[in-house]
Amino acid sequence: MPYEGLQLQLDALARRLESVESNQVVVGTQTDRIEFNQTAIKAQASRIESNTSELIETFNALKGAWKVLDFLGKLAKPFSLIIGIGGAWWWIKDHMKDILK
């Protein structure tokens, strides 16, 4: 009869072992899902990175265009002054005869 206690302990250990094995299967399945999701996330991050790099290149090109347009805008002020003075001089030269009459 002393073996009955051992048999109960062995049965309990067998149930625990079955429980651990079933948990291991669940964990293995979850690990496979995590690895699959991780691969999908890496692929998506790679696509986002390539799209973003194109966008950054476009912004850098536009930054250069803005510098050129800013430079042209700074040149426009003195040129408009010179053209305005030249136009006023031309108008006075053409109309001076009519003013002095």
CA-CA distance, 43 to 46, in Å (whole number)? 5
CA-CA distance, 46 to 39, in Å (whole number)? 11
pTM attached to this predicted model: 0.38
Measured over the CA atoms of residue 86, residue 91, residue 94 and residue 95, the dihedral's sign is negative
Tokens of 67: 């510098």
pLDDT digits (tens, 9 = 90+) for 35-94: 888 888 888 888 888 888 888 888 888 998 899 999 998 999 899 999 999 999 998 888
